[in-house]
Structure 1
Amino acid sequence: MENNAELVRLEEFVDKLLNKYNQLKADFHSLQATLSERDAECAELKNNIYNLTTERTEVGNRVSGLLGRIEQWESDQETFSAEKGGGYESIQGSLFSDSADGKNS
């Protein structure tokens, strides 16, 4: 009888161990899936960062180009104004005025 009770206890202990092992195994697979999802998300975010950095660089270059063109235009207007004897301010002022006749407000 005593041996039988010991075998029952041993069976219960083994069952508990197997249940805990199966639970740990399930948790492990769940964590692996989560890790895979996070790795994919991380790769996607790194790609987004690269794309945004590239876009930012391109926009910066385009803005620099526009500023260069504006500076060149201003330089050309100063030269033109000096050759024609007119004032630089009047030319630039007419460009940026609100009125249709070209006078500053």
Structure 2
Amino acid sequence: MLLICGDSKAYEEMPADPGFLDDCKAKGDKLIQSGGLEPPADATTVRVRDGEVLLTDGPFVESKEVVAGFSLIECASREEAVEAAPTHPVARHGTIELRAVQP
């Protein structure tokens, strides 16, 4: 999973770059799904404490950097995923956090 991170401008600067999909295909990786997320201000935080569901509007933590989107790719190894991450268009101005999805 490539988590697409950046400051609040990340939403404005998220490019629609079909080249990333082409790069994945050329290397034999499989882009399963990709998309943006609504801004943290539109989030709802859900917690359960002592059996009570608590809902809060907005993000749980105030942060300068936010998760703005994701790309789920299937690679044969972690090394291939590390090679794919820099080809994501947001890597040029934001941050790509790479995490394996637990089985």
Give TM-score, length-normalised by structure 1: 0.17
Q: Which has the higher helix share?
A: 1
Give TM-score, length-normalised by structure 2: 0.18
Of structures 1 and 2, the one with the larger relative CO (CA 8 A, separation 6+) is 2
